Structure 1
Amino acid sequence: MSGHYFDERPSTAEDRREVRFSAWGHDLRCTTGGGVFSGDHLDHATRVLLESDGPPTGTVLDLGCGWGPIALAVATASPSATVWAVDVNERARELTALNAAALGAGERVHVAAPESVPDHVRFDAIWSNPPIRIGKPALHDLLLHWLARLSDDGHARLVVGKNLGADSLQRWLTDQGWPTERTTSSKGFRVLTVRRG
């Protein structure tokens, strides 16, 4: 699977470039590159997620951060938030850290590999365009692991393509004891809000 965005060390050329996007009234200019998810633009699913609600506050997890659009948008719009940007992809983490520093948010955006997030950290919000293409068993394990780290009244917002199994994922999460509702449906994507049972 060499060259996939969920590789730990992508083998594709880095080929850095600039992407601009707006979120919650802020214009952001970011550096992206090859070997990361949606390396040449803000993907439609993430845009749907960012437009689905106001910015989260508290301690926020961007799960599968890529080059960092969710983490960076949250850190910019919620200056009191502490943001964790987590990805298995080393290059994605480098780009997110670079972008956070360029936006003046480097001290509030903690960029980490999944195993490097301290066990005691709990999240008030998890916002994610999850890596559906890693396969259903791996995705289920990933979601259950991180949902368990929500604070008691925390929530997760996941954006998933309807054609990539959003409705079946909603049912599965509810069956696992994580009540899940569809809060937005736009452009073929569902935003699922997950809370503790």
Structure 2
Amino acid sequence: MTGDHYFSPQPGAADIRADVEFTVAGRDYEVTAGAGVFSAGRLDPGTAVLLRKAALPTPADPGPFLDLGCGYGPIACVLADHAPTATVYAVDVNARARELASVNAARLGFADRVRVAAPDDVPDSVTFTQIWSNPPIRIGKAELHALLARWLPRLAPDGVGWLVIARYLGGDSVQRWLVDQGWQVQRYASQKGYRVLRVTH
């Protein structure tokens, strides 16, 4: 692919920032988004469905968690808020997204537990009790499969993965592919054209 996409490592768009407000499970959040980063103007509808329909962690959940393709960090910040002792890895290829995720973790008081990183900077030894992702479908099927094949195996044996994928962008075909790869996949919820998939070993 050519051009400037939210999954470009170094977006070329002017770094114009704006606040985004959203509510999850009765808690209000205000974070900073920016041009050249996924869903810069609002909380993405798929992310909103994921955070509304999936089972959020509880204070007893120890982590670590992974927010895969974190963007400016709304999922990572919600996870850190709901599980106040857990470490959350917020991973993205986009350098501006990582900067904004760090800004937002600090803004909300989670800088000590949200570890923002490029994919290659996550220690190989880390496994995750939960993996959360609104994955970048538009990178293409082969690239998406490679992304999931890289990170889902890092799920702890009793861990759970939560994915949200628009049905019209292939949510059902991704579910079938994951099953073919040996994963247990439950279509946990559907709303507004999005599938929330619960993935386990």
Question: Normalising TM by the smaller chain, what interval?
Answer: over 0.9
Q: Which residue of 2 aligns with 1:12?
A: 13
**Runs in 1 of length 4+ with deviation above 2 angstroms?**
none
Q: Which residue of 1 aligns with 2:37?
A: 36
Instruction: Mark the runs of 5 or more structure 1 residues left unpaired by the alignment.
Output: none
Instruction: Mark the runs of 5 or more structure 2 residues left unpaired by the alignment.
Output: none
| Alpha-carbon distance between aligned partners in 2 of 1:53 and 1:136, rounded to the nearest angstrom | 24
What does 1:35-114 correspond to in 2, within 5 Å? 35-56=36-57, 57=61, 58-114=63-119
**Secondary structure of the equivalent of 2:53?**
coil
**Secondary structure of the equivalent of 1:51?**
helix
| Alpha-carbon distance between aligned partners in 2 of 1:80 and 1:26, rounded to the nearest angstrom | 18
User: What is the Cα deviation at residue 2 of structure 1?
Assistant: 2.8
RMSD: 0.8
| Alpha-carbon distance between aligned partners in 1 of 2:179 and 2:50, rounded to the nearest angstrom | 20
Q: Which residue of 1 aligns with 2:124?
A: 119
Determine if contact 1:26/1:77 at 8 Å carries over to the other structure. no
Give the aligned residue type for 2:27: H
**Secondary structure of the equivalent of 1:148?**
helix
Task: Give the share of equivalent positions with the same residue, in percent.
Answer: 55
What does 1:150-189 correspond to in 2, within 5 Å? 150-189=155-194
Q: 1:117-164: per-residue Cα shift (whole Å, max 9, x none)?
A: 000000000010000000001100100110110001001110000001
**Secondary structure of the equivalent of 2:21?**
strand
| Alpha-carbon distance between aligned partners in 2 of 1:54 and 1:178, rounded to the nearest angstrom | 19
